[in-house]
C-alpha cells in the first residue's frame, strides 16, 4: 500500500480564541470579533456565543438579539497573523510540506515523517499540545490519504477534534455523506446536483462521468472523483506556490458617498494600497478592474481595462481606474469601491546564490503574501484622506460561511 498521509489542521474559532487567550476576562464568555466600524459583520464568534445562535456573517445587532450578553471585540489582525505564522512554524517541525490554506487552516503531508515520529496520530497530538501550550487555543485535526478527505475529517469534530479517515474506510464514510460537505461543492452546485437526483457523495461517485461532463464541462470529471474521495493534488509548501495572479483591495465606505471628489480620493487611496502591495510582490500588471457597489447593496458593476504596458505605480493605477470611472454614469451613491490589478508579470529579481538562502527567501516571501492577504500590515497613505470617510480596519474572517448576507437570496 502506497498512500500519502495528510493532516488538515483547523484552528477552532481562531480570532475569538486568540482574543480569549489574550484576555482572561473574555474566557468562557460569548464574544464576537468584528471589523473596525459600523458597517461590518461578525467575523468569528466564540463557542459560548455560537451556543446562543450567534453566527458568522450576522450584523452586530443580530448577534445581540440572539445573545444579549454578547461581548463585541474589535479584531486585531496583527495578533492573528503573528499567531498564524508561529503556528505554521510549529507545523514545519514535523514536515517541510506545509500548505497554508488560509490564516487558520493548513495541510501537512507527513508521509515521509511517519518513521521519525511514529504515527500521524502522534504528530497530531504533539501539535495539539504545543498549540495549546504556546497559544492557549485548540484545533481540530483531520488525518486522511489526501487533502480533500483530510479537510472533510477535520470538520467532523469540533472543537478540539481528531478524526481519522483510513484509506479502507473512505467508501463507507462517503456513502451517505451529503455532497455539500465536500470542499468545492457550494450551495449552487448542490442544487444543480440535487436536480440530477444526486444527494450523497456515494451517488455522485457512481454517477456516469459523461453525464456529469455534459452538464458541467471540464468540472464533470473532478466532481465524480470528489464523490469517490479521490484527490491527487499535492500539498504545496511555502515558497513553491504559483505566482500570485491578481492583487486587489476593496472597501465598504463608512457612509455612502456621491461626491465625485470624495470618490476619487478613495480611489487614490485604494490605488496606493494595490500599488504598494504589487511592488512588494515584485509584480506589475496590465489589467485594472474597478468595482462599485451602490447604496442599495444589491446593484453593482465591475469594469476592466487592459493597457499596453505593465504598471505597478500607484498613480498609474489610479489613472487607469479613473479612466474606467469616466466611462460610466453613477446611478446611486456608492457603498463600496474596489480596485484589482491582474494580468500580472513577475519582475526579475536578484536571487541569492545558495539554495538554502533562496529557500529561506521564498518562504519569507510566501509568508509575507499570506500576511498581506489577511491584512497583517498597516498600509500608510497618511495625508491623502481628510479624516472621516476612511474605511475601517479590515478583519478578514477565517470562516465565512453562507449563513450571512449571501443567504439573502433573490430566488
Partner DNA sequence: TCTGGGGTCCTAGGACCC
Catalytically active residues are: 105
Q: With CB under 7 A as the contact rule, which of the stretches 89-97, 122-130, 257-265, 399-407 interacts with DNA?
A: 399-407
Helix, strand, coil percentages (3-state) for the chain, rounded to 5, are 40, 20, 35
Q: Is 251 in the site for DNA (CB under 7 A)?
A: yes
Q: Is 227 in the site for DNA (CB under 7 A)?
A: no
What residues from 107 to 146 belong to the interface with DNA (CB under 7 A)? Answer: none
Q: Enumerate the β-bridge partners of residue 100.
A: 106
Name 231's Cβ contacts closer than 8 Å, sequence gap at least 6.
146, 147, 148, 149, 225
Q: Is 326 in the site for DNA (CB under 7 A)?
A: no
Cα 209 to Cα 285: distance, rounded to the nearest angstrom: 39
Q: With CB under 7 A as the contact rule, which of the stretches 25-33, 58-66, 141-149, 309-317 interacts with DNA?
A: 58-66
Return the number of the residue (19 or 372) whose C-beta is nearest DNA: 372
Cα 367 to Cα 373: distance, rounded to the nearest angstrom: 10
Judged by CB under 7 A, which of 340, 363, 371, 376 binds DNA? 340
Contact at 8 Å (CB) between 108 and 9? yes
Return the number of the residue (117 or 381) whose C-beta is nearest DNA: 381
Judged by CB under 7 A, which of 252, 271, 276, 371 binds DNA? 252
What residues from 150 to 209 belong to the interface with DNA (CB under 7 A)? Answer: 151, 183-190
Could you tell me whether strands 246-257 and 105-109 are parallel, antiparallel, or unpaired per DSSP bridges? unpaired
For the bound state, the minimum distance from the C-beta of residue 215 to DNA, rounded and expressed in Å, comes to 10
Q: Is 40 in the site for DNA (CB under 7 A)?
A: yes
Q: With CB under 7 A as the contact rule, which of the stretches 83-91, 110-118, 126-134, 303-311 interacts with DNA?
A: 303-311
For the bound state, the minimum distance from the C-beta of residue 261 to DNA, rounded and expressed in Å, comes to 21
Helices (H), 67-119: 77-91, 114-117
What residues from 263 to 302 belong to the interface with DNA (CB under 7 A)? Answer: 273, 277, 286-287, 296-298, 301-302
For DNA, what does the binding mask look like between residues 343 and 362, x meaning CB under 7 A? x-------------------
Q: With CB under 7 A as the contact rule, which of the stretches 194-202, 225-233, 258-266, 400-408 interacts with DNA?
A: 400-408
For DNA, what does the binding mask look like between residues 360 and 389, x meaning CB under 7 A? ------------xx-x--------------
Return the number of the residue (261 or 408) whose C-beta is nearest DNA: 408
Angle separating helix axes 77-91 and 355-373, nearest 10 degrees? 140
Tell me how long the chain is.
Answer: 411
Residue-by-residue DSSP string for 268-322 = HHHHHHHHHHHHHHTEEEEEEEEEEEETTSS-EEEEEEEEEEEE--HHHHHHHHH
Cα 110 to Cα 223: distance, rounded to the nearest angstrom: 26
Q: Is 247 in the site for DNA (CB under 7 A)?
A: yes
Return the number of the residue (248 or 333) whose C-beta is nearest DNA: 248
Q: With CB under 7 A as the contact rule, which of the stretches 98-106, 118-126, 201-209, 345-353 interacts with DNA?
A: 98-106
Judged by CB under 7 A, which of 39, 92, 265, 279 binds DNA? 39
**What single-letter DSSP state applies at residue 259?**
-
Judged by CB under 7 A, which of 95, 250, 271, 371 binds DNA? 250
CA-closest candidate to residue 102, choices 190, 14, 191: 14
Sign of CA pseudo-dihedral 256, 259, 262, 267: positive
Judged on CB neighbours under 10 Å (0-12, 13-18, 19+), 240 is middle
Amino acid at each position: 500500500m502506497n498512500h500519502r498521509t495528510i493532516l488538515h489542521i483547523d484552528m477552532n474559532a481562531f480570532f475569538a480564541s486568540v482574543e480569549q487567550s489574550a484576555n482572561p476576562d473574555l474566557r468562557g464568555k460569548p464574544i464576537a470579533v468584528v471589523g473596525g466600524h459600523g458597517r461590518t459583520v461578525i467575523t468569528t464568534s466564540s463557542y459560548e456565543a455560537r451556543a446562543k445562535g450567534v453566527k458568522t456573517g450576522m450584523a452586530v445587532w443580530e448577534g445581540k438579539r440572539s445573545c444579549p450578553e454578547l461581548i463585541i471585540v474589535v479584531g486585531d489582525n496583527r495578533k492573528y497573523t503573528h499567531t498564524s505564522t508561529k503556528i505554521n512554524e510549529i507545523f514545519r517541525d514535523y514536515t517541510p510540506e506545509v500548505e497554508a490554506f488560509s490564516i487558520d487552516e493548513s495541510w501537512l503531508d507527513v508521509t515521509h515523517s511517519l518513521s521519525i515520529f511514529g504515527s500521524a496520530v502522534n504528530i497530531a497530538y504533539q501539535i495539539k499540545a504545543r498549540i495549546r501550550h504556546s497559544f492557549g487555543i485548540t484545533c481540530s485535526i483531520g488525518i486522511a490519504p489526501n487533502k480533500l478527505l483530510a479537510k472533510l475529517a477535520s470538520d467532523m469534530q469540533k472543537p478540539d477534534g481528531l478524526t481519522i479517515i483510513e484509506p479502507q474506510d473512505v467508501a463507507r464514510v462517503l456513502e451517505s455523506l451529503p455532497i455539500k460537505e465536500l470542499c468545492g461543492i457550494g450551495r449552487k452546485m448542490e442544487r444543480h446536483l440535487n436536480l440530477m437526483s444526486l444527494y450523497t457523495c456515494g451517488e455522485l461517485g457512481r454517477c456516469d462521468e459523461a453525464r456529469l461532463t455534459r452538464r458541467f464541462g471540464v468540472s464533470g470529471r473532478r466532481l465524480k472523483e470528489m464523490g469517490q474521495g479521490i484527490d491527487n493534488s499535492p500539498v504545496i509548501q511555502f515558497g513553491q506556490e504559483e505566482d500570485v495572479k491578481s492583487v486587489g483591495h476593496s472597501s465598504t465606505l463608512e457612509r455612502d458617498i456621491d461626491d465625485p471628489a470624495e470618490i476619487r480620493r478613495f480611489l487614490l487611496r485604494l490605488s496606493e494600497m494595490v500599488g504598494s502591495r504589487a511592488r512588494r510582490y515584485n509584480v506589475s500588471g496590465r489589467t485594472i478592474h474597478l468595482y462599485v457597489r451602490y447604496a442599495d447593496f444589491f446593484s453593482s458593476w465591475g469594469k476592466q481595462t487592459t493597457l499596453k504596458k505593465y504598471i505597478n505605480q500607484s498613480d498609474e493605477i489610479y489613472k487607469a481606474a479613473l479612466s474606467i470611472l469616466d466611462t460610466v454614469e453613477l446611478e446611486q451613491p456608492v457603498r463600496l469601491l474596489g480596485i484589482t490589478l491582474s494580468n500580472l508579470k513577475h519582475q526579475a529579481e536578484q536571487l541569492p546564490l545558495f539554495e538554502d538562502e533562496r529557500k529561506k527567501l521564498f518562504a519569507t516571501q510566501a509568508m509575507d503574501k499570506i500576511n498581506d492577504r489577511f491584512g497583517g500590515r498597516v498600509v500608510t497613505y497618511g495625508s491623502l484622506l481628510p479624516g472621516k470617510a476612511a474605511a475601517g480596519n479590515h478583519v478578514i474572517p477565517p470562516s465565512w460561511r453562507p449563513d450571512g448576507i449571501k443567504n439573502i437570496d433573490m430566488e
